[in-house]
Amino acid sequence: MTYQRTAVTRPTWRQRARDPGWGLIFVLPMLVLFVIFRFVPSLGAVGMSFTDYRLSGDFSFIGVENYSRLINDDLFFDSLRVTLLYAVMYVPLTLVVSLGTATMLHHVVRGRGLFRGLLFLPYVTSFVMAGIIWIWMYQSDGLINGLLDGVGLGPVPFLTGSQTMVLGSLAVVSVWKSFGYSMLILLAGLKNIPEDVMEAATLDGAGPWAKFRRITLPLLRPVIFFVLVIETIAAFQVFDTIYVMTGGGPARASYGLVYMLYDQGFRFFDFGYAATIGVTLFVVVFVISLVQRYVLDRENT
């Protein structure tokens, strides 16, 4: 009886490079940085919220006193209302602009890279520079009011009028500044939609709007959910635009939660109370994200 030896083939370097262990090695430095500079400070903020930590470094454990103070603080609820109103304006407008520009870029044949770069350019612009430019544009003798004057609408108090006017004006600036990132994410999602599905819909007589509503939007639902989450987080963390353009005014019409956190921590040096605001802000955003996920999943079913 004879036995035939089976040759053992060693994996090539390409096959070894696909080992998940190698991927973990390459990700490890960023993971370590994330743990050190993100996760650990977040845990520290949670612990600090149960203390009366001050600038001197002295602190004592006070339990839930900061949270009780927060519940009874009218300024906190006013800031929360301002932040929610701003998010209601900013998030849908960003989604519409991002989805619209991504759809147009998806159908551009020539110069797609050029248009994509031009539309993404505001995202890499400094918030301070963008705020200064838009302050000039919003002034009574600025560009926008100059155009409105030309058609007889008169000067509009974009940054000094009602709360809705001020927050709407700030939301427009933030959308102009930030929509490019969400546009690229949605553009990647559009490229992943199979072409044969669109061709089959065309053969069935579906028009552009029917294909967009019946095919594009349902297949983009996971991407849209991701965009909604990141833009909601951005809306609740808005600070730079408010700090540069209004300083929380007029009469605290744009005084959001992060601005309140900034004041408590770096103006009054009440770091324990500032950490409490930050933890509460995280909980609010987390709950809103869960609601968004539930609504999208329910529509999917």
Per-residue model confidence (pLDDT) at position 4: 54
Per-residue model confidence (pLDDT) at position 19: 66
Which of 247-250's residues contact partners 24+ apart within 8 Å by CB, and which partners?
250/159, 250/160, 250/166
Domains in the chain, start-ordered, CATH in brackets? 73-300 (1.10.3720.10)
Confidence band, pLDDT 50/70/90 cuts, at residue 300: low
Average pLDDT of the residues in 185-200: 87
pTM of model > 0.75: yes
For 23-51, what is each residue's pLDDT tens digit? 778 888 888 998 898 889 889 999 999 99
What sign results for the dihedral spanned by CA atoms 213, 215, 221, 224?
A: negative
The rounded distance, in Å, linking the Cα atoms of 265 and 55 is 9
For 68-91, what is each residue's pLDDT tens digit? 999 999 999 999 999 999 999 999
Per-residue model confidence (pLDDT) at position 92: 94
The rounded distance, in Å, linking the Cα atoms of 67 and 59 is 16
Of the ranges 6-10, 15-19, 274-278, which is most confident?
274-278
Q: What angle do CA 175, 79, 284 make, to 5 degrees?
A: 75
